[in-house]
Structure 1
Amino acid sequence: MDLLIQLALNGIFNGAHFALLAMGFALIFGTTGVVHFAYGPVYAAGAYIIWALAALAGLPFWLAVLLGVAATAVLGVLSYLLVYRPFEIKQSPAFVVLVASLGLFIVVKNLIGIVFGTGVKTIDSVPYDIYFVGDAFFTTVQLVQVAAALLVGCGIALFLRASRYGKAIRGMADSREMATVIGIDTTRLSIIVFALGSAVSAVAGALILLRDGLNPNMGFGAVFIAFVAVIVGGVGSLRGAVLGALLLSAVQSLGMWQIPTEWQNTIVFVVLFGFLLARPSGIVRQG
């Protein structure tokens, strides 16, 4: 029973982490149509920046997080302007943009290893408490992950529904061509969603720094989970991305009851394959 409780708790807390990653990726992919695989290394770079500001520069962790989130937003914008925008101007095929994204993934990942080294980075200056439910346990950091996912999700939803730019982003997500016809500046909106989506990933990165520590390869798992969650949840739906993330986390956690940890990504592939066969439009159908 304690094992099941621990797995259920892990499912909730990992689901919050996955949801943050999926929301950031969904904003970018659902709005611009760019399969931004470099989202993973950008997320990792943001987390490393936060670590450097807190551990090396000695800044208070909250200030390091604020500056790291801003820096990650800038990295997201630069990835769009320097890599994707030139192909957009030339109206290059989607496959070419995909290859460019994979190239950017490799470059940023290797730069992280060169600049910060390949060892695991942790931070010990932020205290946290441990709570027990029987023999199962969770920490303050995991509670903050859930709170962050809720706050970020509600904030993005409010922004998309109530603000002028948010409504324009929703219109662009429905039809980029129609948005252009009615005079919406799609380039400016692309910059906004790359900045916002990357900033959201930095929030997830800051919390994973406290929970697990950092390594240069962490970006692959992040973009893999985010991409699958968006496909399973339904492309173009922020709510679907969150539901997809929670489903993947639940399946992973319950799968660990009988399946070794190294098979976690295989479980995710099985879920993706099943949805592509049975419900290719995802959990939340659009249109």
Structure 2
Amino acid sequence: MDLFLQLLVNGLINGSHYALLGIGFGLIFSTTGIVHFAYGSVYTFAAYVAWFTASAWGFSLLPAMAAAILGAVILGVLCYTLLYRPLELRRAPPLIPLIASLGLNIALENLNAIIFGSGARTADFGSSVMFLGPVFFTTVHIWQVVSCAVILAALVLFLRKTRYGRAILAMTDDPHMARVVGIDTQRISYLVFALGSAVSAVAATLILMKDGASTHMGFIAVFMGFVAVIVGGVGSLKGVVAGGFLLGIVESLGLWKISTEWQSSIAFIVLFIMIMLRPQGLFSIARR
């Protein structure tokens, strides 16, 4: 039972990380329709920025995270400006931006290695271990769960209570109708790329504390974010969060009965089952 409780807690912690990744990726995907696989490289860049500012300038956690957010926002907006926006103006078929995003991800992954080096990087912002009965966790884990809850609450308020938030929801529901009623969809696209990239930077900074940063860390990040979106339902914020936590819990509890070498396959299994049984995801857009 002690092992089960520990795995469950680990699943909730990992699920909060996957939920953050899904929120950022899903915000871009559901609003613009762009499968932004270069999101993984933006996430990696943010982790390296946090590491650099901490190691070179001695920044503590929050200033390093702020620098990572700024760097990710700039890179994310540049991705849209230099690649996706020109393709939109040319009315490129949906497959073209998808292929372009894969190419951009490879290019940015190599650029990260050139700028920051190909070795693993770690940053120690201070972390302690705590026990709750037979279960242990660290302050980093608490940060992950709390940041997910805070970002989710802030994003819900933003989407429901602000003019730009309602414009995002309108564009998610029907981009064509949003343009008809006078919404500047280009500005909204810039906004969601900035917001999604900012969310990825928060997740990246915390995973830097937990596991360190490497040039290839972006693949698993964008994949887990993508799975959370598909499992939860495209366009549904609560669905993405539920999908992230479901993925984290199933992945963690899977270690109770199977070898750790098969852990990476669990996300593929979850994705396959959801596509077969409920392709629209746990929550449809109409139930947002």
Pairing of 1:125-164 with structure 2 (within 5 A)? 126-164=125-163
Tell me the equivalent position of 2:109. 109
Q: Is 1:282 aligned to 2:267, yes or no? A: no
Tell me the equivalent position of 2:7. 7
Pairing of 1:26-41 with structure 2 (within 5 A)? 26-41=26-41
Tell me how far apart the structure 2 counterparts of residues 237 and 269 of structure 1 sit (CA, whole Å): 21
**Residues 45 and 71 of structure 2 are in contact (CA less than 8 Å); yes or no, is this contact kept in structure 1?**
no
Q: Is 1:175 aligned to 2:174, yes or no? A: yes
Tell me how far apart the structure 2 counterparts of residues 133 and 92 of structure 1 sit (CA, whole Å): 54
Aligned AA (2:102): L
TM-score (norm 1): 0.97
Tell me how far apart the structure 2 counterparts of residues 262 and 29 of structure 1 sit (CA, whole Å): 31
Aligned AA (2:153): C
Tell me how far apart the structure 1 counterparts of residues 252 and 59 of structure 2 sit (CA, whole Å): 35
Report the aligned-residue RMSD. 1.1
* Residue 5 of structure 1, CA deviation: 1.7
- Report the secondary structure of 1:131's partner residue: strand
Aligned AA (2:156): A
**Residues 235 and 284 of structure 2 are in contact (CA less than 8 Å); yes or no, is this contact kept in structure 1?**
no
Tell me the equivalent position of 1:202. 201
Pairing of 1:95-106 with structure 2 (within 5 A)? 95-106=95-106
* Residue 133 of structure 1, CA deviation: 3.5
Q: Is 1:243 aligned to 2:254, yes or no? A: no
Tell me how far apart the structure 2 counterparts of residues 253 and 93 of structure 1 sit (CA, whole Å): 39
**Residues 20 and 204 of structure 1 are in contact (CA less than 8 Å); yes or no, is this contact kept in structure 2?**
yes
Tell me the equivalent position of 1:193. 192
Gaps of at least 5 residues in structure 2 are none
Tell me how far apart the structure 1 counterparts of residues 45 and 26 of structure 2 sit (CA, whole Å): 19
Aligned AA (1:45): F
- Report the secondary structure of 2:105's partner residue: helix
**Residues 122 and 214 of structure 1 are in contact (CA less than 8 Å); yes or no, is this contact kept in structure 2?**
yes
Tell me the equivalent position of 1:223. 222
Aligned AA (1:121): R
- Report the secondary structure of 1:45's partner residue: helix
- Report the secondary structure of 2:285's partner residue: coil
**Residues 2 and 134 of structure 1 are in contact (CA less than 8 Å); yes or no, is this contact kept in structure 2?**
no
**Residues 46 and 69 of structure 1 are in contact (CA less than 8 Å); yes or no, is this contact kept in structure 2?**
yes
Query: Identity of aligned pairs, percent?
Result: 52
- Report the secondary structure of 2:222's partner residue: helix
- Identify the range of structure 1 (61-70 vs 166-175) with the bigger mean alpha-carbon deviation: 61-70
Tell me the equivalent position of 1:64. 64
**Residues 234 and 240 of structure 1 are in contact (CA less than 8 Å); yes or no, is this contact kept in structure 2?**
yes
Tell me how far apart the structure 1 counterparts of residues 227 and 199 of structure 2 sit (CA, whole Å): 17
